[in-house]
């Protein structure tokens, strides 16, 4: 295979690999990638079959002119959606295909590699899944191999190299060594380089492909929204208790509240939203008084802009200067998150005051048009007399015990599905139960509202944290109780509430996979300045421990005696710095000797160079010491003249060196062993003669 053919083949393969993650990240579609792959495959087929013909310059210019209208239309269309990345990526793909079909000069190959590199940057800059590490390793080693081979082929072609020599070119060890060194260097660089506050490539459709339905449900809530969300298994947030354990199965993470029910859809209405600054204690507060238990929470960007806080939250700390809080107690970030973010939550003490709730009840529509006389009559019959809390409790128990939970809704009355649920089907999922209770409470003049969020969490024993998934999505009710505030009611039967898995093999595998994702989120995506400072402190302690270990005084000193008296170590067992340094020096020396011997593989060239160096050291004049300028036969003559008894061994070393270096003959293991023994004999004789 000619050098040009080999270079085209390698560049084509690397071009096919470069854009692989882009469809998964939502940057381009699969149709675009398939078209690019087909064009690149055609290029490779032509290269392999020796039918490759480069495009003429006029053809390249014509293709560029034809693509200009496509680019203009695409940019004017996608610019409205702020997806300039898609248009630019399409342009790079098109330019790369044209360049592949016009490879003539050496610089054309490097132009193609530049386009491939930009595709690689786009893929890495928009990827947030840990699988991208596999892509990174494959592309890094592949590109390093291509670069080294292109350089080697360029040198060989300029000096009249031939295919036989190219086939003997062994670059795998070099590429592997450089790749491993690069990876080892990348770890401390990643830990120490400045952190970016957000990904350097972001926007709608970037890195979000396959994401969960918005966990915040902020836009509105249909009667089947949560039912569809609960079919997913994506992680919305993870949390771990900072101290005493919590009842994770009963925890409710509030996402949004809804006031108005129109045409089978809940909306939030016009909320009064205010900015809230940190308190004097450095926390954002939702309730007065001391906190009890604390949680460390890592919320996925799929959780939405709303901060998913437990309903018992008294205070929290998130890395923003101010937060948005509406008049129903729902907290939101100033801007949508672009990656997983973390915050701390302090829960109210059981004996502490309730939550601060500035939510007005006057704006609630207590005469909802969705409430029919039949529904009002049912509310009167079920709720009876008594306090508001007692009447609401009766209604909650009635719905919980007399109705059945199901995700199979079948055919429902679209005009009034709630009435259909209460009197005909008598089955539904959590939105139907919660909506029915809200409307029935309002029919009796009791302020109530719909709440969406997540209930319960799955424990991951691999690290002791808890996982809240899409499958934990749930809806419940908040009713205003005089003298108490808004109280939670959940009319959904226990069988219909989010359940924790049975702990089988599939769940264990799922938790192991989530553990890897959590580590990725924690130490890659959300790795920040605080983590860097912690890394530096740990490094300081580590090296300080080594220095302290080497800096201990002799056993007879006051420190050693003090340690012995304290019972830390008997006087004769206190480590001696002398022995420590001896052991360390021996280990280091053995390591250096091993590295020196393993630096190059043993062959006839190494043996001949060692023999030539010995000849230079035994020479009597400065001019004769320039052994590197001596020809092989002259080296042989001088050794035989000094030590005639080694004539056979010397001639054997020189002959095998000439065959290996100039005849390109690969020596056998037996011949290599013979050279090693012969070199030892000659060197000993030269030392005696000197």
- Specify whether 142 is located in the same domain as 255: no
pLDDT value at residue 204: 39
Q: Tokens 């015990």, residue?
A: 401
373 and 279 in a common domain: yes
Whether residue 581 is found in the same domain as residue 608: no
Is 27 in the same domain as 143? yes
Q: Which pLDDT does position 40 carry in this prediction? A: 95
- Residue 143 lies inside a defined structural domain of this protein: yes
pLDDT bucket at 687, cuts 50 / 70 / 90: confident
Phi, psi (deg, nearest 5) at residue 262: -135, 130
What does the alpha-carbon distance between residue 357 and residue 480 come to, in Å, rounded to a whole number? 11
Same domain, 457 and 362: yes
Q: Of 500, 521, 542, which residue sits at a domain end?
A: 500
Whether residues 404 and 325 share a domain: the answer is yes
Domain boundary among 192, 213, 231: 192
> pLDDT class for 199, splitting at 50, 70, 90?
very low
Q: Residue 541 domain-assigned? A: no
Please list, in sequence order, all residues whose beta carbon lies within 8 angstroms of the beta carbon of residue 103, skipping any fewer than 6 positions away: 4, 7, 8, 11, 54, 109, 112
Kindly state the average pLDDT of the residues 424-453: 91
Q: Rounded distance, CA 438 to CA 417, Å?
A: 14
Name which of 86-95, 291-300, 501-510 the model is least confident about.
501-510
The helix or strand, by DSSP H or E, that contains position 183, with its residue range, turns out to be helix 172-192
β-bridge mates for residue 557, sequence order? none
End-of-domain residue from the set 500, 518, 538: 500
Residues 451 and 667: their CA atoms lie apart, in Å, by 80
Between 486 and 600, whose confidence is greater?
486
CB-count burial class (<10 Å; 0-12, 13-18, 19+) for 246: buried
Same domain flag for 565 and 631: no
Asked if residue 442 has pLDDT above 60, the reply is yes
What pLDDT does 177 receive? 81
Lowest mean pLDDT among 364-373, 433-442, 489-498, 510-519: 364-373
216 part of a folded domain: no
Task: Rank 46-60, 160-174, 581-595 by mean pLDDT and report only the highest.
Answer: 46-60
Whether 580 and 608 map to the same domain: the answer is: no
Q: Say whether both 280 and 169 belong to one domain.
A: no
d(CA 355, CA 374): 36
Which residue range is the domain that position 639 belongs to? 604-689
Residue 157 sits in the same domain as residue 68 = yes
pLDDT tens figures, 597-613: 555 677 888 888 888 88
Residue 520 lies in a domain: no
pLDDT at position 673 over 50: yes
Question: Mind listing the pLDDT tens digit for each residue in 338-386?
Answer: 677 889 999 987 654 444 454 555 556 556 667 888 999 999 999 999 9
pLDDT of residue 78: 55
Q: pLDDT per residue over 530-540, tens digit each? A: 777 777 787 77
In-domain check, residue 522: no
Is there a single domain that holds both residue 287 and residue 234? yes
Domain count, the chain: 4
pLDDT band at 558 (very low <50, low <70, confident <90, very high): very low
Highest mean pLDDT among 330-339, 384-393, 554-563: 384-393
Top-ranked range on mean pLDDT: pick from 13-22, 406-415, 566-575: 13-22
Residue 518 lies in a domain: no
Between 526 and 38, whose confidence is greater?
38
Structural domain includes residue 286: yes
pLDDT at 564: 40
Looking at residue 392, what is its pLDDT? 94
Q: Is residue 365 part of a domain?
A: yes
> What pTM did the predictor assign?
0.61
Residues 333 and 305: beta-carbon distance below 8 Å: yes
Give me the mean pLDDT over the 647-654 stretch. Answer: 90
Residue 577 CB contacts under 8 Å (≥ 6 apart), including other chains: 550, 551, 552, 553, 554
Q: Are residues 626 and 670 in the same domain?
A: yes
């Amino acid at each position: 295979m000619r050098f040009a053919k080999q270079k085209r083949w390698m560049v084509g393969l690397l071009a096919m690999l470069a854009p692989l993650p882009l469809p998964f990240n939502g940057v381009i579609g699969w149709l675009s990638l398939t078209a690019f792959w087909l064009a690149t495959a055609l290029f490779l087929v032509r290269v392999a079959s020796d039918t490759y013909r480069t495009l003429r310059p006029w053809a390249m210019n014509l293709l560029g002119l034809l693509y200009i209208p496509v680019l203009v239309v695409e940019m004017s269309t996608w610019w409205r959606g702020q997806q300039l990345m898609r248009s630019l990526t399409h342009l790079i793909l098109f330019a790369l295909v044209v360049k592949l079909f016009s490879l003539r000069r050496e610089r054309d190959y490097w132009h193609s590699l530049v386009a491939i590199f930009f595709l690689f940057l786009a893929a890495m800059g928009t990827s947030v899944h840990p699988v991208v590490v596999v892509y990174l390793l494959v592309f890094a080693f592949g590109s390093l191999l291509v670069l080294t081979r292109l350089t080697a082929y360029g040198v060989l072609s300029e000096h009249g190299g031939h295919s036989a020599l190219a086939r003997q070119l062994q670059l795998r060890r070099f590429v592997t060594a450089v790749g491993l060194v690069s990876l080892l260097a990348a770890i401390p660089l990643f830990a120490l380089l400045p952190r970016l506050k957000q990904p350097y490539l972001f926007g709608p459709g970037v890195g979000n492909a396959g994401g969960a339905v918005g966990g915040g449900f902020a836009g509105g809530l249909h009667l089947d929204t949560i039912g569809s969300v609960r079919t997913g298994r994506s992680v919305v947030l993870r949390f771990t208790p900072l101290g005493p354990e919590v009842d994770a199965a009963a925890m409710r993470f509030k996402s949004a509240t809804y006031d108005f029910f129109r045409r089978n859809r809940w909306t939030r209405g016009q909320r009064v939203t205010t900015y809230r600054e940190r308190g004097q204690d450095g926390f954002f507060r939702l309730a007065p008084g001391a906190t009890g238990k604390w949680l460390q929470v890592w919320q996925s960007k799929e959780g939405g802009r709303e901060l998913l806080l437990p309903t018992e939250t008294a205070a929290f700390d998130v890395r923003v200067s101010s937060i948005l809080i509406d008049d129903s107690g729902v907290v939101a970030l100033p801007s949508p998150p672009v990656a997983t973010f973390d915050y701390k939550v302090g829960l109210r003490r059981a004996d502490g005051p309730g939550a601060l709730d500035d939510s007005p009840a006057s704006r609630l529509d207590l005469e909802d048009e969705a409430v029919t006389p039949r529904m009002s009559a049912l509310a009167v019959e079920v709720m009876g007399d008594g306090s508001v809390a007692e009447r609401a409790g009766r209604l909650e128990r009635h719905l919980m015990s007399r109705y059945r939970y199901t995700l199979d809704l079948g055919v429902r009355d679209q005009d009034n599905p709630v009435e259909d649920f209460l009197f005909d089907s008598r089955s539904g999922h959590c939105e139907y139960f919660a909506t029915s209770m809200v409307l029935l409470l309002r029919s009796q003049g009791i302020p109530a509202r719909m709440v969406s969020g997540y209930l319960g969490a799955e424990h991951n024993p691999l690290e002791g944290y808890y996982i809240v998934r899409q499958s934990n999505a749930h809806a419940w009710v908040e009713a205003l109780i005089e003298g108490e505030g808004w109280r939670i009611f959940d009319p959904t039967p226990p069988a219909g509430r989010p359940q924790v898995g049975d702990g089988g093999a599939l769940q264990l595998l799922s938790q192991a996979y989530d553990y890897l994702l959590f580590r990725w989120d924690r130490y890659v995506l959300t790795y920040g300045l605080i983590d860097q400072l912690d890394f530096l402190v740990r490094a300081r302690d580590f090296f300080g421990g080594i220095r302290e270990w080497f800096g201990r005084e002799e056993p007879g000193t006051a420190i050693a005696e003090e340690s012995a008296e304290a019972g830390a170590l008997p006087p004769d067992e206190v480590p001696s710095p002398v022995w420590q340094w001896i052991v360390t020096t021996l280990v280091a020396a053995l390591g250096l000797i091993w590295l020196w011997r393993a630096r190059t593989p043993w062959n006839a060239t190494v043996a001949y160079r060692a023999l030539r160096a010995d000849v230079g050291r035994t020479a009597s004049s400065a001019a004769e010491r320039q052994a590197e300028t001596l020809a092989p036969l002259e080296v042989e003559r001088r050794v035989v003249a000094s030590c005639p008894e080694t004539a056979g061994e010397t001639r054997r070393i020189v002959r095998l060196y000439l065959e290996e270096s100039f005849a390109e003959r690969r020596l056998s293991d037996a011949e290599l062993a013979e050279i090693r023994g012969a070199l030892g004999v000659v060197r000993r004789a030269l030392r005696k003669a000197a």
